[in-house]
Amino acid sequence: MALKGQNLIIYTDGVSRGNPGDAGIGVVFKDSKGTVIDEIGKYIGTTTNNVAEYTALVNALEYAVKHRAASADIFLDSELVVRQMNGVYRVKDENLAVLFNKAQMLIKKIKKVTLTHIPREKNKEADKLANKSVNLHLSKK
């Protein structure tokens, strides 16, 4: 997939059933026209909702770096993650700090990154992928 130099529009979500509980992530990648070009949906084990949200963001950024995107406009329904990443809130939890630092390192490898908080209703595609991943895992138990 030739994404080098392109702007990616990315929607990320993380879910945890039980908090901590069975968790999954969903990431939807779109081109500048809004066409879905790729998706990530995976089960990530037992963890908290905030760790799942950060894990989804890290996966999105790793993808953008790997495919050498020029910029990434990332939309999340986690107000905590957006505010921490944008420097409004401090990161106090050490598990989140590891993911926060990884995300910050990846952001430096992309020319331009924006992180925007959106309402949960506008993040249905990523949410569906995250939940589908958890459901698939649970159905195999």
Instruction: Choose which CATH entry (3.40.50.2300, 4.10.93.10, 3.50.30.30, 3.30.420.10) describes domain 7-34+48-139.
Output: 3.30.420.10
Residues of the chain with pLDDT under 70: 1-2
Q: Please report the pLDDT score of residue 5 as a whole number.
A: 79
Q: What is the Cα–Cα distance from 136 to 113, expressed in whole angstroms?
A: 32
37-41 long-range contacts (CB < 8 A, ≥24 apart) are: 37/1, 37/3, 38/1, 38/63, 39/129, 40/129, 41/129, 41/130, 41/132, 41/133
Q: Please report the pLDDT score of residue 4 as a whole number.
A: 75
